[in-house]
Amino acid sequence: MITHPVRKLRHLVHAALLVAFTASLNAADLKPYKVGFNSWVGYITFFVASEKGYFKEEGLDVKAKSFSSPGDSLLPLLAGDLDAALTTADSVITVLDKAPGQVKVVYLTDTSAGADAIVATKAIPDLKAIKGHSVAATLGQCNQLLLDKALESVGLTEKDIQLKNMNADDSGAALVAGKLDVAVTWEPWITKATGENKGHVVFSSAQTPNLILDVLAIGNKTASKKFAETRAFIKGLNRGYEFLKQHPAEASALAAKSLDQKPDEVEAMLPKVVFYSAKKNIEVIESGAAAKASKEVAQFFKDKKISDTLVDVTKLYDASYLK
């Protein structure tokens, strides 16, 4: 049978309108969820889930906002301008000093296992040899604690070095440029320094399990009003995790743009981060391992007078959104 051209055109137009109408209905059904993040390889599961459309499939219209550092998203979270924040556990602890009980952690994306490190120039052969040298670290944050633990391991203290206050990106760049002896930095600067033969790792977060945790934090407003949406978001993250485990190269390519790195550079960083599945999340949270590590961070902040109080972390972690 020969189809009349006008009828065929009408059929195509009708089909196109039907698809557009259905898409608009589906878009209307999606629930808004606003998330803050910064460009960190540990959040690759988030970038993958976004690119693969997993959040939409879980019923969410995720609005992502980029921040320059992990702690910057927490004040908007407290104000209710964000529903959740991909941040660090230590950043949450500093906020809880002034806003006790206002934020909790509902998911662990990863822990640094070499993605944060103390990098020294080739002239400094090992960790003990940093004595007397200029060392840059971000004072009042977890990489200062990493430095203190490293120094303690070889019988040194901060008094044995020339400590400079510098953020992790700037210190890494300064070391690569030959302007600094030792940097407490993170990726991608560790890979840049070692890859360009400008420095080598003398201590890393691989030696301090769970000390530097990357997490999903929510405020009280989200906890009271968006339980279902938060669970859906975590399901999307878990799907991103499963894809990463099965297809690391493709996942790295998907996340490369968000991380402003080349796909092979992203993939090279993955072994320095331990990613947590939903099952591992429950294990680390319910065993108390996460709280134990955060208690050490809270004590460090109190001792350094970064916090006015010793923040209580016993109720910081909530695994109920994973069940």
Q: For residues 241 and 45, give the distance between their C-alpha atoms in angstroms, rounded to a whole number.
A: 5
Instruction: Write the Ramachandran bin of 34: left for phi over 0, alpha for psi from -120 to 50, otherwise beta.
Output: beta
Q: How confident is the model at residue 6 (pLDDT cuts 50, 70, 90)?
A: very low
User: How far separated are the first and last CA of the chain, in Å rounded?
Assistant: 57
Q: For residues 310 and 100, give the distance between their C-alpha atoms in angstroms, rounded to a whole number.
A: 11
- Are the CB atoms for 136 and 193 separated by under 8 Å? no
Average pLDDT over residues 6-12: 46
pLDDT for 242 equals 98
pLDDT digit string (tens) for 104-155? 999 999 999 999 999 999 999 999 999 999 999 999 888 899 999 999 999 9
Task: Choose among 235, 221, 202: nearest CA to 322.
Answer: 235
Give all domains of the chain, ordered by start, each with its CATH number.
Answer: 28-113+211-322 (3.40.190.10), 116-207 (3.40.190.10)
Average pLDDT over residues 176-196: 95
Residue 242 CA to its chain's centroid (Å): 17
Q: At residue 7, does pLDDT exceed 60?
A: no
* pTM of the entire predicted model: 0.84
CA distances to 28, 87, 113, 179, 261 from 167, rounded to whole Å, are: 42, 16, 19, 15, 20
pLDDT for 141 equals 85
